[in-house]
């Protein structure tokens, strides 16, 4: 995508259209299938056109129920943390 100088990208420039959404009664597997099949990293959850929330890849990966929840550090600590330690986590 070529962008002219001094042009600010907007949400419209990078969004997926038409909107791909999940239903609130869909399974986690259904949502994961949507993300993979449509090559997206998050999907809004809608009910009769009303947005209820968003499910992202991170929501599916970092789950306490399956032992993959992570402790989130403050953003300013990242430059001081060893990259190997972060990868291990």
Does some domain include residue 6? no
Domain that holds residue 71: 11-88
Distance between CA atoms of residues 76 and 50, nearest Å: 36
Does some domain include residue 49? yes
The terminus-to-terminus CA distance of the chain in angstroms comes to 35
Does some domain include residue 5? no
- Quote the Cα angle for 78-82-85, to 5°: 105
Q: How far is CA 15 from CA 6, 46, 60, in A?
A: 20, 17, 21
Does some domain include residue 41? yes
Would you say residue 3 has pLDDT above 60?
A: no
* pTM score: 0.62
CATH of the domain at 46: 3.10.580.10
Does some domain include residue 51? yes
Decide: 36 and 44 in contact? Cβ < 8 Å: no
Distance between CA atoms of residues 53 and 44, nearest Å: 6
Does some domain include residue 27? yes
User: Per residue in 11-43, pLDDT tens?
Assistant: 999 888 899 999 999 998 999 999 999 999 999
Q: Based on the structure, what is the number of domains in the chain? A: 1
């Amino acid at each position: 995508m070529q962008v002219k100088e001094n042009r600010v990208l907007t949400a419209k420039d990078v969004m997926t259209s038409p909107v791909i959404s999940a239903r609130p009664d869909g399974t986690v597997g259904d949502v994961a299938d949507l993300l993979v099949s449509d090559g997206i990293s998050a999907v809004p959850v809608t009910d009769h056109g009303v947005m209820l929330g968003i499910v992202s890849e991170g929501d599916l990966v970092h789950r306490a129920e399956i032992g993959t929840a992570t402790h989130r550090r403050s953003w300013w600590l990242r430059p001081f943390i060893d990259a190997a330690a972060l990868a291990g986590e």
